[in-house]
Amino acid sequence: MALPDFLIKNSSDIDLRWYGRRTGKPLRKTRKKLYEELLPTIRLDPEPQNIPTDLKTLFPNPVREVWLEIGFGGGEHLAVQAEKNPDVGIIGCEPFVNGVASLMKHLDGNGVANVRIYDDDVRHLLKLMAPGSLARIFILFPDPWPKSRHHRRRIVKDETILQFVHLLKNGGELRFASDHQGYVSWALRHLLQNDDISWIARRPEDWRIPPPDWVETRYEQKAKARGDTPAYLRFERKSRFD
Ligand SMILES: C[S@@+](CC[C@H](N)C(=O)[O-])C[C@H]1O[C@@H](n2cnc3c(N)ncnc32)[C@H](O)[C@@H]1O
């Protein structure tokens, strides 16, 4: 079942670009080959009829649940999570060609059975997945769009939070991390306003400590090298029957 009309953004908003470049430096030979040969074997076909209601059926081997990583960048986090969790299907979404090629390099030789890639804007995909079909959504170090006039390009905002909540199954988790304090405050404020999710913070310092199964991302490493302190927010989807 696709997203109800009230959750579908209007076309003028979908025209608004949320991501930076689509392409960077020309791909080196190995990456180009992997991009051309490996990606087509795991690329998600975004035609609505090809997105199954049960996302688990996208994967050749049985998986117990499906996670979505939005904006995986170079794919370092996704590749390690996929390797550590072979019984989970992971859909990675990233429109930046060089990032997708980098993920292919990380996956090459490590198995790709539990990974599927949507190499475009996640907003299209969010509308096609069935309610309650995701157990986890990762939004890690998203573009902060620091200027006020660009805030509506942020990936976390009221409209997308409704979509995330709609797509998460009961008890499912939304993970957000950022080193941009303005975006962290913004995300926390907007997420706390939604009554269908609750902040998983048991101690005051929780938002400074990554969860135990955390895998560092490239942007996180860069932020720490600059001396910035990332924040980690985890929200749980409340039961729909509460
Ligand atoms: C700052 S980078 C962070 C990359 C990675 N998560 C990390 O922490 O290293 C943000 C990424 O989000 C991607 N992105 C931005 N808007 C997106 C969208 N609408 N759909 C999917 N990915 C998006 C960008 O292309 C970029 O690679």
- Could you please report the per-residue DSSP string of 154-221? -SSSHHHHHHHHHHEEEEEEEEEEES-HHHHHHHHHHHHT-TTEEE---SGGGGGS--TT----HHHH
Query: Which helix (DSSP H) or strand (DSSP E) does residue 107 occupy?
Result: helix 97-107
User: Has residue 230 got a pLDDT over 60?
Assistant: yes
pLDDT at position 4 over 70: no
Per-residue pLDDT, averaged over 118-139, amounts to 96
For 184-229, how does the pLDDT look when each residue is reduced to its tens digit (9 = 90+)? 999 999 999 999 999 998 787 889 999 999 999 999 999 999 999 9
Contact 95, 24 (CB under 8 A): no
Answer yes or no: are the C-beta atoms of 151 and 145 closer than 8 Å. Answer: yes
Q: Are strands 134-140 and 168-178 parallel, antiparallel or unpaired?
A: parallel
Give the pLDDT of residue 203: 80
Helices 97-107 + 29-37 axis angle, to 10: 90
Q: How many CB atoms lie within 10 A of CB 13?
A: 13
pLDDT surpassing 60 at residue 9:
no
Residue 162 has pLDDT above 80, yes or no: yes
Reported as a single tens digit per residue, the pLDDT across 73-124 is 999 999 999 999 999 999 999 999 999 999 999 999 887 899 999 999 999 9
Pocket residue to mutate for ligand 1, from 44, 68, 153, 155, most atoms within 8 A of Cβ: 155
- Region 127-144: what's the mean pLDDT? 97
What is the rounded average pLDDT for all residues in the chain? 91
Distance between CA 55 and CA 114 in Å, rounded? 12
Does pLDDT of 11 surpass 50? no
Element (H, E) at 222: helix 218-226
CB-CB contact of 173 with 235 (8 Å): yes
pLDDT for res 13: 56
213 is catalytic: no
Residue 73 in contact with ligand 1 by CB distance below 6 A:
yes
**Ligand 1: which of 72, 80, 100, 226 to mutate, most ligand atoms within 8 Å of CB?**
72
Percentage of residues in the chain with pLDDT exceeding 70?
91
The pLDDT value recorded for residue 24 is 81
Triad 3, 75, 104: Cα angle to 5°: 100
Q: Which member of 143, 195, 213, 242 is catalytic?
A: 143
Nearest CA to ligand 1 atom 22: 71
Q: In this structure, which residue's CA is closest to atom 17 in ligand 1?
A: 19
pLDDT for 241: 64
Query: How sure is the predictor about 30, in pLDDT bands with cuts at 50, 70 and 90?
Result: very high
DSSP 58: G
Q: From atom 14 of ligand 1, which residue's Cα is the shortest distance away? A: 71
